[in-house]
Structure 1
Amino acid sequence: MRVKTTTTSFKIIETLHELEGAGVTEIANRLDISKSSVYKHLKTLEEERYVIKGDNDMYYTGLRLLSLGVGARRRRKIYETAKPEIQRLAEESGEMANLLVEEQGRGIFLYRADSSRAVNLDTHAGREVYLHTTAMGKAILAGFSDERVTDIIERHGLPRMTEYTITDEADLLDELQSIREQGWAYDREERLKGLCCVAAPITDPDGTALGAISVSGPRSRLKRDSLGKLPQLILDVQNVIELNVAYD
């Protein structure tokens, strides 16, 4: 059973995060609730230190949320195990390397490591994405049964992010089968125009998908016909992480 007031409080926090700060009127208009209700929620959240009040009556998310996020990330065993290997992957590829996990049908970035020439993106820790729009997300979906993939599609849909996003379920299932056969996934500008990505899943000894790792870079550097040794590099790192997970 959903508690409406709790849902409203979280929607306000999410709105502050998305807007990087907002006033009572802006939040009320965005969420279509009364200003008096927004104000009461904000004052309660402020007293509990989940939001702070800045200049000009602007509210922002508080750092107390950071400690909760850090704690949630540490509970994912794969984070500490994969972190040094993600850093190595960034150094050896010369691009950006990432770690993504699935939670309730969405992809959550846990870690990102940059090389000296990595492009600046929005893939910070905690960033949510649709699984079907990224190579890592597709690598994770490939480890699920078609029935579970269908359940995720029914819950979240297949929204289009770019002209290259896969928005047809049959096409996605065909792509997932190809990923299972080759062992790695490719993102052809499916989430961000101009950005390509190569990824591989991370599984435990039972074959359960724990997450996925990737290398991301500009289309000009990661064209599919000129990937070179990149897929093998990612698969080598995948092997190390999975061994560490199995025997840690």
Structure 2
Amino acid sequence: MSQTVDRALSILPLLARGPASLEQVARNLEVHKSTALRLLRTLHEHGLVYRQPDQRYRLGVRLFALAQEAVESLDVRAVAHPHLTELGAACGHTVHLAVRQEDEVVYIDKVESRYPVRMYSRIGRPVAITVAAVAKVLLADLPEPERRALAERLDYPRHTPRSTPGPAAFLEELARVREQGWATDLGGHEETINCVAAPVRGPDGRAVAAVSVSAPTVAAGPDELLRLLPLVRRTADAIGAEYSGKTPDARSRPADPRGEHP
């Protein structure tokens, strides 16, 4: 990297900590004020920095716009897929990635289980929104007025005796999911299928997707599946960190699937 580009880029993290004067920028870069001024003027022309009335410099709005465009251009499925594959290899069960699209939650990726009994689900197919763990995770993240409005207009089919019976129960469940940060579907859609899910969070902290592990009871009972929850959450955190451009720490890396009950 050229010295000029390196110096210009070094200004941005400095200003991220707060407005700085020309003298502060020059001192931080260890250059003459004329050099610092030339770099700041170039960044200002591109909207990456802004000179305030008090003559100090701060980050420009163009930088924030570029960051938002970069995030929006990311394909969360492309980012997530290697993590989903690793999760599937670690636990052996079916792994899904889902996103919310208006009043639906849709699977956008799937890693099949390693055993012969396969779970019927298809990429692009909406989930059973009032019972699915991925749906609960995504809808729990909505502001309360949106949650209430959505809960009131949904239908509540009784797939099994454990299905969510109506709006009040659904809102109560979403409040619990919002507080604990994960969700389950223990026989709510199919009596013999259990599922745990965790949110993938974007740079603003909002849930952009949900990761789940599902298994038939013959392969993993509810207690066994719940023991995988720490692994599912670490995987979701790792996806969110990469999607947001952050460096995941050790807590975000998938590990041995034999976690403790949450």
> TM tier, shorter chain?
0.5 to 0.7
Question: If you compute each CA radius of gyration, which structure gives the higher value, 1 or 2?
Answer: 2
Note the C-alpha offset of 1:76. Answer: 6.8
Residue 128 of structure 1 aligns to a residue whose secondary structure is coil
- Which residue number in structure 1 is paired with residue 75 of structure 2? 77
Note the C-alpha offset of 1:118. Answer: 6.1
| Deviations, residues 208-245 of structure 1 (Å, cap 9, x unaligned) | 22110100001244433334630000011011101011
* Structure 2 gap ranges (5+): 1-72, 247-262
- Which residue number in structure 1 is paired with residue 9 of structure 2? none
In structure 1, which of residues 177, 200, 208 is the aligned counterpart of residue 206 of structure 2? 208
Going from structure 1 to structure 2, the CA distance change for 1:228 and 1:131 (only over 3 Å counts) comes to: closer
Going from structure 1 to structure 2, the CA distance change for 1:227 and 1:246 (only over 3 Å counts) comes to: same
| TM-score, normalising length: structure 1 | 0.65
Whole-Å separation in 1 of the counterparts to 2:195 and 2:74: 23
- Which residue number in structure 2 is paired with residue 185 of structure 1? 183
- Which residue number in structure 2 is paired with residue 128 of structure 1? 126
- Which residue number in structure 2 is paired with residue 226 of structure 1? 224
Whole-Å separation in 1 of the counterparts to 2:107 and 2:225: 23
Going from structure 1 to structure 2, the CA distance change for 1:136 and 1:240 (only over 3 Å counts) comes to: same
* Structure 1 gap ranges (5+): 1-74
- Which residue number in structure 1 is paired with residue 31 of structure 2? none
Going from structure 1 to structure 2, the CA distance change for 1:228 and 1:99 (only over 3 Å counts) comes to: closer
Native 8 Å contact 2:97 2:107 kept in 1: yes
- Which residue number in structure 2 is paired with residue 174 of structure 1? 172
Q: How does 1:1-248 map to 2 (within 5 A)?
A: 77-117=75-115, 119-227=117-225, 229-247=227-245
Q: Provide runs of 4+ in structure 1 moved above 6 Å.
A: none
RMSD (Å) for aligned C-alpha atoms: 2.1
Q: Percent identity?
A: 29
Whole-Å separation in 1 of the counterparts to 2:226 and 2:170: 25
| TM-score, normalising length: structure 2 | 0.62
| Deviations, residues 100-142 of structure 1 (Å, cap 9, x unaligned) | 1111211111011013116323211111123222111111111
Native 8 Å contact 1:86 1:97 kept in 2: yes
Whole-Å separation in 1 of the counterparts to 2:128 and 2:113: 25
Residue 217 of structure 1 aligns to a residue whose secondary structure is strand
Per residue, is there more helix in 1 or in 2? 1
Q: Which amino acid in the other structure matches residue 146 of structure 1?
A: E
